[in-house]
Amino acid sequence: MTNQQRWSVINRDSLGVEAKNLANGLFNTDDLFESEIQSEKFWQNLFLVKNASESQYDLLINKKRSGEDIPDKTLCLADSGQKFHGQRNRDWVSLAGNIHLSVFLKPDKVIKQFAPGFSILAAVSVLQTIDAIENLKGKATVKWVNDILIDSSKVCGFLSHTLTEGSKVTGTVLGIGLNVEFAPEVEPTDFVPKSSSLKNLSNNQKQAEQSFVFFELIKNLTRNYQILLDGGYFELLEIYRKRSIIIGREVIIKPDPIRPVPPVQADEKPKENIEGRVLSIGDNLELYLEGRKEPVFSGRLILKD
């Protein structure tokens, strides 16, 4: 991750069984290199890929679903790649110099409100990472449910997928796409009027670069994951609420066309457009709108003003 990092050639067969199985899915070459990051004691594995041939987020989910063991506390970072996607399988444009991170965690314990909890974990960790860039501190906001904006420009999207056995969380996959050095050219929509990058928005070019942002991000993920494991869900939720850009705003929530990621299929969606002023975000990320008795749990949000 740094110019000073020392790398040595390794044989794929020298890896442990779990790591080897994952490497077989991530790498299309036998030319593998290994290094150790002295400053990171929590994370056990970091797989770096220059250009991923498929979504590493999907790969982790599918491997776990098929019964394969994945090493706990694993990071998969791609500089760029193909078949990356955001919420509801919408395309995500990947550019070298940005962060395309997939995370696998194996809590193997009961976690209350785990479904919104891991989404909030990703959101808060990204917000705190951006705060570490001097002139961007406090500027990043959350647009329900999984976009991070700065000055109304989208800079990040995140996903989470949790697997359970009974009441126990056996695995969680997080996907974080963060525009660090470059802003992708995407067609403006009502949902995402414009996009940008941290480097475009910051005057601190040394901090708004991939390596600095990556290490800040995994540091924040480490801390916030421990908070979640220790029962601190509402501590993280309060940060999410305070950094929300939608509370008090007039919004339109539209049904979200579903492009399922095989083999996942979902059919939940609001049946009609919902409009109103957002009063609050509930304990499970549901929205409460002025004059509406029932909360809104899903849909795609447009800011009206």
Phi, psi for residue 175 in degrees, rounded to 5 = -125, 125
C-alpha 63/C-alpha 37 separation (Å) is 26
- Residue 2: what pLDDT? 54
Would you say 148 and 99 are in contact if contact means Cβ atoms under 8 Å apart?
no
The phi and psi torsions of 160 (rounded to 5 degrees) equal -145, 145
Question: What Å distances lie between residue 176 and 120, 161, 281, CA to CA?
Answer: 12, 12, 22
Please state the domain extents for the chain.
Answer: 8-242, 250-303
Per-residue pLDDT band for 220 (boundaries 50, 70, 90) equals very high
When computed from its CA atoms, the radius of gyration of the chain, rounded to whole angstroms, is: 19
The CATH code of the domain at 8-242 is: 3.30.930.10
Contacts of 156 (CB under 8 A, 6+ apart): 126, 147, 148, 176, 177, 178, 179
Angle at 177 between CA 173 and CA 179, to 5 degrees: 160
Give the strand pairing for 8-10 and 32-34.
Answer: antiparallel
pLDDT tens-digit series, residues 90-99? 788 889 999 9
In the chain, the percentage of residues whose pLDDT exceeds 70 is 92
Q: Which of 232, 231, 237 is nearest to 286 (CA)?
A: 237
Q: Model pTM?
A: 0.91
State the pLDDT at residue 258: 55
Q: Is the pLDDT of residue 259 over 70?
A: no
pLDDT digits over 80-93, tens only?
Answer: 988 898 877 778 88
